[in-house]
Structure 1
Amino acid sequence: MRRFEDIVGQEQLRDHLENAVKLGKVSHAYLINGERSSGKEFIAKIFAQALQCENRQGADPCGECHSCVQAESGNHPDIIFLTHEKPNVISVEDIRTQINNDMAIKPYSGKWKIYIVNEAEKMTVQAQNALLKTLEEPPEYGVILLLASNVNALLPTILSRCVQLNMKPVRDAQVKDYLMKTMQIPDYKADICVAFARGNVGKAKLLASSEEFDKVKEEAVSLLRNIQDMEIHEIVTAIKKITEYKLDINDYLDILSIWYRDVLLFKATHDANHLIFREEIQYIRKVADTSTYEGIETIIEELEKSKQRLNANVNFDLTMELLLLTIKEN
């Protein structure tokens, strides 16, 4: 059963929602803003379930009443998740049929009718304007939860009518503690997941439980061990293989970045205790001994540039060839 205490490292946001439930001071529109996979939907579900709970103790849902059982199974008639057929677009028709028209009907069983809009930044301008009409005059039972990872894509008029709750990066120690205690992730693997997650608990959880992540990490490390002895076409083939996985290419580039940060750290300190890839110390020492500080820093900078190029839809093969040439030269 989900409780507010299960929200890790977002104390200010959690307290706001808990107090709204306890005091009955619920706004008609909330915007939860945070990175992709950071747990926005998890938070929205706890809040929605707590609002609908029939036997709430304090702010937390009881987990046992009919409403909680429905919410836990995803079948609560008054907790509605907006869906859209086009993967990258929430259309005006989606908003009209699933929110505007539906909200005119009173709740079936609960006190509230709650609408959860994931990836709200995908709403077209027309869709946002349609939603605006409902936000301006919502019925007393209507609550809309917009979940977004890019608030810049939302109209100022939408933002002005929502209570904005911004998720913050969680401390590494807190994320590691969560992975080890809640998910029983071993120390070494937890360190790697924390390094990649960069304060994003949801991403850390995904990586910790992903078999694909382990495979991609092993392939990346294998490439880094042997890159100096490989021809460019061999390296490009190895990189292309990564696109067969569902993992984001940025996560792959992060693996390379963290490896070279370890190289830089070891070159400066000759101490393996603080390395993320400390099990690879034999290879890290070899690269550190044969590379200059400037060369390693150039590689790390080029990795960040490669991310930016790929996010801007620059040709994948060209981006990777530039990156790999930079790595081999430095």
Structure 2
Amino acid sequence: MNHGNHEDIIYVEADGKSIKDEAVEELQTKIKKKPFFGNRNIAVIKHADTMTIRAQNRLLKTLEEPPEGTIIILLSENVENLVSTILSRCVVFRVNPFETPEYGEIKEHAQMLVRMLLNKEPFYSLKSKLSEFADDRENAMKLLDSMELIYRDLSIINNKESRNYTKDYIYRAVVLIEEARRDLQRGINTGYAMRNLIIKIGG
């Protein structure tokens, strides 16, 4: 398995810049066969967002009615490039990078920002905390990922602090973070996108 050659795990990767219809068709044929060793076939589609529209449409029927005992995993750094009908049939898990000193600092920054937003601190205070992310798109994306995880955790916490905000507030914050992530992916100025996010959540 560590070498990517387990008989019951089927990998699909891009041929050139995209995953084409033929690759998905081949996958569909393979997962119809009984597994060799276990009781499941596992399909892993790497960089699933590079699937052509035709390939995504072909995969859709398999996601709706997968062969019994089949698990299909789509790996993607840009889920926005997947059609909505694919996403609606998947359970989305966001995976953060392994803890590193750099990521630890970003996580602390995210916790501080969320705390300040919950406490309704003034914009100028929040803006100063964003300054080091204004020109660093990669770190800004990591900050957004951390903030989203924090807000999602808050949605299931039930303590004294949780009385300071509503579920609707948490849901709205998560939606706004996802919008900011899409803005960054479209090339909108990093500083503008982050400040706009803070204004909207704080407002």
With the length of structure 1 as denominator, give the TM-score of the two structures.
Answer: 0.32
Larger Rg: 1
With the length of structure 2 as denominator, give the TM-score of the two structures.
Answer: 0.50
